[in-house]
Structure 1
Amino acid sequence: MRITGIRATPVAVPYRADEIWAFGRRHGQISVLIEVTTDEGVTGLGEAAAYPSAEIVLAVLRGLEPLVLGEDPFAVERLVRRIDLVGTWHHVKATSPAIAAVEMACWDIAGKVCGQPLVNLLGGRFRDRVECFYYVARSSPGEIAEEAKRATEAGFGTCYLKVGSDDPRTDIERVAALRDGAGPGARLRVDANEAWSPGAAVRMVRELQRYDLELVEQPVSGRNLAEMAYVRNRIDVPLLANEASWTRHDQLAVIRAGAADVLSVDNQMDGGLLNLKRGAGICEAAGLPVVKHSLGELGVALAAAVHAIAATPNFRYANQAYGALLADDVTAGFGGGIESYVDGCVPVPAGPGLGVTLDRDKVDSYAELYRTRGAEFSFGDPGALSAAHALPKF
């Protein structure tokens, strides 16, 4: 079997509520769906987050074609090494989502040909379903409390909230509202997206720990591991590395620096599902748990991640997903939206390969939305662009 083509379709899917973080917002999710075709008529699905933009993902996919066409989709290791080394893509992180989408599609092909769900090809089921957190959109304290209540009523055990506001008192009010709405039994996770200096991070985490935080994610710059270790050694809430740990090489550096208690892993940022498992294995050898990070994903990428997580032991916390924000999805029968979750968990798809199919009408509709209004769904925020932001905020 040989690969004969890569077909790419950018789509834009709206959110129910804007995603807002320390330095911007977006109104919906842009993903690049890919279909890898073969000479035997089997097609594999993949998905790339539009990071840093859909245009860059599409350019990388065009650049990958000479390295992919004519190759055996079963030879995943050979194919990825060919991209990394012959194509010299291994040192450019912005190319990773496109590479990961191609690798994902190859795994889908392999599973379909074997008649097996992908989880069985990645080590077999360690768990039958994957827990995800409920992404609470940052808004007023009253709205946060209502959304947190909705999360617990829907069966989610973990609520996630972005902090890193311009005024730290606003963060305290929002986290207090999150606890009020979620109730005493819920696990709460906050993410500052590198917005704080080390001293401010220590002070803020000590202020917020009264709300019984499960994890504090990337409170300081991910580029300075000594700062992270400084903060980690002065707070009682476990520190989750995110921007510091997007690749397995980064994860090894975080471990060596003693800079985190839990590490994020991400197949899209590390170029594939095999690399996600490698990174998780490095962390397991260090005695550390991992969580799945997401740049935003629809049903195709969510399904791929669920298969990999289900086959990897040390995913001990709820993982990042976008079901609470997405207004719709592009798959049939398995969606990236909230309807796919049962008590905050996503069941492992049972069909061969990724176990998902595209809803062609929805793909066409959201591809048209991307063509006509795609700029409205990018990471950019006009309000943020007009401000003079700097790291850290204080």
Structure 2
Amino acid sequence: MTALTVRAPAQAGVATKTVVRAVRAWQLPPQPAGLPSELPEPVAAAAGEPPAGPAWAEHRTRFAIELVGDGVSGWHAPVAETVAQIIVDDLAAGLIGHDAAAPRRLAYRKKTGRHRNGAHARQAASAVELACWDLASRATGLSVTGLLGGTIRPKVPAYASALGLDPAHPSAPEAAAWITAAGFWGQKWPLPKPLILAGPRAVAKTLGRLRDAAGEGRFMVDALGRCRLDEAMQLLPVLADLQVTFAEELLPPGSFGWHRLRAAGTGVPLAAGEHAVDESEQTRLLTGKAVDVWQVDPGWSGGLARSLHTTELAADLGMATFPHGDRLPAALALAGACCRDKIPAVEWHLTLEPLRQQIYPTPVHVEDGMLPVRTVPALAEAPTLPEKRRCWR
């Protein structure tokens, strides 16, 4: 059996374990279909459509990236087939001989293709960067937070993302009450397009009963970029009455209408950032006075070093950062290396994260609203590979 193994002979005089000798991509099983079996009853009852699972190509065909050093490997998983292909075609050859303990040099390694910008290219660059942190951590015996400058806190608050739930479902208030009782830092509910089209009164009625059920808990909304500018402007007074902690992506991330929302003066904190994958877009959002709350995903934004940079910049500009939960191990490492003023909480997706965690031998769980920061080597456990392992050729 052969791997996508881009390999080079050991360099004379270089014996460090952190030097990349080969790059491999191992195929993982597809994401399980349906809802996680361990969901609390109030949450499961309010679920809308189950997570896409194998219906989405990126969940159906998944890979783990392995960077092979001298006697130790660094891992990142899962990545979609399109992302793995970019790593194979454009990045793998340039990784050979790279010292994973020198993250600032990674951007200058040779690239063999034309993919530089855009979501998939940035996910590929992020996957490689995170695998390098994992390799450096395993090789040196230091935690990733230690490599980032030291562990500031061993546990981080989690806020519950209810994006897999239907806010109009009769059981939704019970789910909102359960989230508060479970100790989460706060809860975030979706604004589906049909609810947006129903108008501000329908939004006020639907979200109002959830806000009441949440009690004193923090309450956020996510429009997933589905609002037109006029729709978002009409919703701002409703969201102000609900006293939302922040409103996420009322407009598409690249929209230039954000300043209109800020100029409305309703006092609703506006959040964005997870879909700002390229450096120029991140800088525009952060410094353009368009948003009040920064959101970053280390698996999309360029990796941990870039995420730490934008988190520090956001703090200098008076903004808190809430890392997106798609790459939870990286988000936790980032949060563990920052104080609570810079990163108050990390996202925990109620219906998706338990499915994502199934690739690891020991899944991470929320306890009393807190998530543990890994203080031992490795960004996360190495993913569980199928018994019949298939490598990408």
TM bin, normalised by shorter chain, reads 0.7 to 0.9
1:180 aligns with 2:205: no
Report what 2:260 is aligned to.
230
Q: Which of residues 300, 303, 306 in structure 2 aligns to 1:269?
A: 300
- Aligned partner of residue 171 in structure 2, secondary structure: helix
CA distance in 1, matches of 2:23, 2:277: 29
CA distance in 2, matches of 1:182, 1:71: 49
Residues 248 and 127 of structure 1, relative CA distance in 2, 3 Å threshold:
farther
Query: For residues 343-362 of structure 1, what are the alpha-carbon distances to aligned partners after superposition, in whole Å with 9 as ceiling and x for unaligned?
Result: 222111122122424344xx
Q: Which of residues 4, 18, 24 in structure 2 aligns to 1:6?
A: 24
Higher deviation after alignment, 7-16 or 156-165: 7-16
CA distance in 2, matches of 1:244, 1:106: 23
Report what 2:3 is aligned to.
none
Q: Which of residues 268, 274, 284 in structure 2 aligns to 1:253?
A: 284
Asked if structure 2 preserves the Cα contact closer than 8 Å seen for 1:118 and 1:354, the reply is: yes
Q: Which of residues 208, 222, 226 in structure 1 aligns to 2:239?
A: 208
Residues 161 and 217 of structure 1, relative CA distance in 2, 3 Å threshold:
same
CA distance in 2, matches of 1:19, 1:46: 32
Query: For residues 1-21 of structure 1, what are the alpha-carbon distances to aligned partners after superposition, in whole Å with 9 as ceiling and x for unaligned?
Result: 332122232431343469999
State how 1:132-151 maps to structure 2 within 5 Å. Answer: 132-136=158-162, 137-139=164-166, 140-151=168-179
Report what 1:76 is aligned to.
103
Residues 12 and 232 of structure 1, relative CA distance in 2, 3 Å threshold:
same
Residue identity opposite 1:233 in structure 2: A
CA distance in 1, matches of 2:67, 2:368: 36
Q: Which of residues 82, 86, 103 in structure 1 aligns to 2:129?
A: 103
Asked if structure 1 preserves the Cα contact closer than 8 Å seen for 2:118 and 2:278, the reply is: no
Q: Which of residues 62, 67, 88 in structure 1 aligns to 2:88?
A: 62
CA distance in 1, matches of 2:220, 2:173: 14
CA distance in 1, matches of 2:374, 2:366: 12
Per the TM alignment, residue 33 of structure 1 is displaced from its structure 2 partner at its CA by 4.3
Aligned residues: 347
- Aligned partner of residue 31 in structure 2, secondary structure: strand
Residues 20 and 190 of structure 1, relative CA distance in 2, 3 Å threshold:
farther
Q: Which of residues 279, 283, 286 in structure 1 aligns to 2:317?
A: 286
Report what 2:15 is aligned to.
none
CA distance in 2, matches of 1:43, 1:304: 17
Asked if structure 2 preserves the Cα contact closer than 8 Å seen for 1:303 and 1:356, the reply is: no
Per the TM alignment, residue 178 of structure 1 is displaced from its structure 2 partner at its CA by 1.8
Per the TM alignment, residue 276 of structure 1 is displaced from its structure 2 partner at its CA by 0.7
Residues 76 and 89 of structure 1, relative CA distance in 2, 3 Å threshold:
farther
1:344 aligns with 2:369: yes
Asked if structure 1 preserves the Cα contact closer than 8 Å seen for 2:274 and 2:301, the reply is: no
Per the TM alignment, residue 146 of structure 1 is displaced from its structure 2 partner at its CA by 1.9
- Aligned partner of residue 13 in structure 1, secondary structure: coil
Q: Which is greater in Rg? A: 2
CA distance in 2, matches of 1:97, 1:306: 18
Q: Structure 2: 5+ residue runs without aligned partners?
A: 1-18, 37-43
- Aligned partner of residue 141 in structure 1, secondary structure: coil
- Aligned partner of residue 271 in structure 2, secondary structure: strand
Q: Structure 1: 5+ residue runs without aligned partners?
A: 369-394
- Aligned partner of residue 290 in structure 1, secondary structure: coil
Per the TM alignment, residue 199 of structure 1 is displaced from its structure 2 partner at its CA by 3.0
Residues 108 and 19 of structure 1, relative CA distance in 2, 3 Å threshold:
farther
TM-score (norm 2): 0.78
Per the TM alignment, residue 25 of structure 1 is displaced from its structure 2 partner at its CA by 7.9
Query: For residues 159-191 of structure 1, what are the alpha-carbon distances to aligned partners after superposition, in whole Å with 9 as ceiling and x for unaligned?
Result: 1111043223543333123213322x1101101
Asked if structure 1 preserves the Cα contact closer than 8 Å seen for 2:117 and 2:278, the reply is: no
Per the TM alignment, residue 334 of structure 1 is displaced from its structure 2 partner at its CA by 3.5
- Aligned partner of residue 303 in structure 1, secondary structure: helix
CA distance in 1, matches of 2:71, 2:328: 25
Asked if structure 2 preserves the Cα contact closer than 8 Å seen for 1:133 and 1:157, the reply is: yes
Per the TM alignment, residue 154 of structure 1 is displaced from its structure 2 partner at its CA by 1.8
Residues 324 and 127 of structure 1, relative CA distance in 2, 3 Å threshold:
farther
Query: For residues 60-103 of structure 1, what are the alpha-carbon distances to aligned partners after superposition, in whole Å with 9 as ceiling and x for unaligned?
Result: 121122122343332332223325x6655433332112221121
Per the TM alignment, residue 202 of structure 1 is displaced from its structure 2 partner at its CA by 2.4
Residue identity opposite 2:178 in structure 1: R
Asked if structure 2 preserves the Cα contact closer than 8 Å seen for 1:145 and 1:178, the reply is: yes
Per the TM alignment, residue 45 of structure 1 is displaced from its structure 2 partner at its CA by 1.4
Tell me the C-alpha RMSD between the 2 structures: 3.0
CA distance in 2, matches of 1:19, 1:286: 38
Residues 311 and 349 of structure 1, relative CA distance in 2, 3 Å threshold:
same
Residues 26 and 154 of structure 1, relative CA distance in 2, 3 Å threshold:
same
